[in-house]
């Protein structure tokens, strides 16, 4: 399937899609003039359809256009009706730009199609009786431009799509699904609206502006950060530019807000592009002074999340103390930090937590942490972690561990059948220490492996 055929399947209006398919058939048949004429017909039909839809949807500024169309259609196929439709067509692209269906560049691109269409259907426009002979690649180019500039986009104005994006973020049923956010608010909107949406998301993610009371400002900013990251996966430079525009205002925020933003976006390179040395020094001081609880007191969630930034290579580079600070934390605090933001970076720390667990309760905590990090384990790290688990009797004989190891077995399904060798080794080593019939010989693991067909 060609790129043009892919775009044809995305044309917003089914009726317009029929016209585009006709233009494509003309191109494939070698009828180049007919292709260009049909392409312009699709453009006019699309603009008219979209402006009428805007009026039907309550856009009062589009109602006069709908009235004009209705009046022209009422005149029927006579001189007055044709003249009225020609007058409408002459200002159609200007109307499309006014209602933000296209931008000024789009007007120029579509104007070229109209000019070539006039040459195709009015051969007398050329001097000396020559007939205009458009090249096939010109027809294909016009069709591709019409599709990408206008036809595949829904009838949504720039301001309206930003408002729809704001409503989506504040929806009580908001779910942070990046592909959906990208498809609706990036891929299917034109470039001007796209930049507006990205700038809107960056402003709210960095500044925690009040969304008119619809959500707590911090929660709203967290959702905007999800959208911003989704957009960055499409166009990182656009996001970087939008974030940079908020740099001065971000520098003036209070320390608590800056720390929340650091947690929210500190894993992204575009955030660190606005952090100069002075701000890095300030963030360094705030993070370094954040832990004020005793070694065995629970670490507050906000502090744990901020220290979990150690998982970001950008944070480790700009805040050089962070890694040393994390590794020097007490055992219980390291566990809480790693569990707050599971990440491949924490796998070695998780293994160390298992080795150092000094009681049955702490052994269970270490086991739960390992299960959290199961998706990030390799065969080697899994073997090492299970070896430490078996060797530490505070893990091996803790009450929850026989069930947790089953969860770990299921959580490492991404390793495939090769993990069965590792878990079989674990069973063999455990039973060498505990015997065959004890609760701590992990019969649940054996049953789970039997159910999957890995052992008999």
Q: Round to whole Å and give the CA distance between 45 and 139.
A: 18
Residue 323, pLDDT above cutoff 60: yes
Residue 153, pLDDT above cutoff 90: no
Q: Residue 301: phi, psi to the nearest 5? A: -60, -40
The full DSSP string for 395-412 is HHTSTTHHHHHHHHHHHT
Render pLDDT for 26-47 as a digit per residue (tens, 0 to 9): 999 999 999 999 999 999 999 9
pLDDT tier, 12 (very low <50, low <70, confident <90, very high otherwise): confident
Residue 1, pLDDT above cutoff 60: no
pLDDT tier, 123 (very low <50, low <70, confident <90, very high otherwise): low
Evaluated on CA atoms 437, 442, 445, 449, the torsion sign reads negative
Render pLDDT for 198-230 as a digit per residue (tens, 0 to 9): 999 999 999 999 999 999 999 999 999 999 999
* Residue range 51-55: mean pLDDT, rounded: 87
User: What's 102's DSSP letter?
Assistant: S
Render pLDDT for 242-268 as a digit per residue (tens, 0 to 9): 999 999 999 999 988 999 999 999 999
Cα-Cα-Cα-Cα torsion 388, 389, 392, 398, nearest 10 degrees, comes to 170
Residue 364, pLDDT above cutoff 90: yes
| pTM for this prediction | 0.64
Q: Round to whole Å and give the CA distance between 445 and 452.
A: 11
Q: Which residue has the higher pLDDT, 130 or 373?
A: 373
Average pLDDT of every residue of the chain? 89
CB 415 within 8 A of CB 377: yes
Render pLDDT for 80-95 as a digit per residue (tens, 0 to 9): 888 888 888 888 999 8
């Amino acid at each position: 399937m060609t790129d043009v055929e892919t775009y044809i399947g995305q044309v917003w209006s089914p009726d317009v899609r029929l016209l585009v398919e006709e233009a494509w058939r003309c191109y494939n048949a070698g009828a180049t003039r007919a292709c260009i004429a049909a392409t312009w017909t699709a453009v006019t039909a699309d603009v008219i359809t979209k402006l009428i839809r805007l009026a039907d949807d309550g856009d009062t500024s589009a109602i006069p256009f709908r009235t004009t169309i209705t009046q022209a259609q009422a005149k029927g196929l006579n001189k007055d009706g044709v003249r009225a439709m020609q007058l409408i067509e002459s200002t159609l692209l200007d109307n499309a730009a006014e209602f933000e269906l296209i931008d000024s560049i789009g007007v120029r691109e579509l104007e070229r199609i109209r000019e070539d269409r006039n040459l195709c259907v009015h051969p007398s426009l050329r001097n000396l009786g020559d007939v205009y002979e458009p090249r096939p690649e010109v027809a294909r180019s016009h069709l591709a431009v019409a599709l990408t500039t206008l036809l595949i986009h829904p009838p949504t104005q720039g301001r309206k799509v930003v408002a729809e994006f704001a409503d989506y973020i504040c929806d009580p049923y908001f779910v942070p699904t990046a592909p959906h956010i990208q498809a609706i608010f990036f891929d299917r909107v034109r470039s001007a609206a796209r930049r507006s949406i990205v700038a809107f998301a960056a402003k709210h993610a960095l500044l925690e502006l009040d969304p008119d009371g619809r959500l707590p400002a911090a929660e709203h900013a967290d959702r905007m950060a999800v959208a911003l990251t989704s957009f960055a996966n499409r166009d990182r430079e656009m996001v970087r530019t939008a974030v940079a525009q908020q740099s001065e205002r971000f520098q003036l925020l209070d320390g608590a807000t800056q720390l929340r933003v650091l947690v929210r976006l500190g894993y992204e390179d575009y955030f660190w592009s606005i952090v100069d040395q002075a701000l890095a020094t300030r963030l360094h001081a705030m993070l370094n002074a954040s832990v004020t609880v005793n070694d065995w007191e629970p670490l507050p969630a906000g502090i744990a999340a901020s220290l979990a930034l150690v998982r970001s290579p950008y944070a480790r580079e700009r805040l050089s103390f962070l890694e040393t600070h994390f590794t020097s934390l007490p055992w219980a605090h390291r566990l809480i930090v790693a569990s707050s933001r599971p990440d491949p970076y924490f796998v070695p720390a998780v293994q160390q937590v298992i080795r150092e667990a000094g009681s049955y309760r702490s052994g269970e905590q270490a086991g739960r942490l390992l299960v959290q990090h199961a998706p990030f384990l390799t065969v080697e790290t899994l073997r090492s972690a299970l070896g430490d688990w078996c060797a530490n009797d505070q893990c091996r004989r803790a009450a929850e561990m026989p069930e947790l190891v089953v969860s770990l077995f299921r959580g490492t399904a991404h390793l495939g059948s090769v993990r069965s060798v590792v878990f079989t080794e674990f069973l063999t080593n455990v039973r060498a220490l505990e015997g065959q019939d004890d609760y701590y010989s992990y019969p649940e693991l054996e049953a789970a492996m039997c159910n999957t067909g890995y052992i008999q």
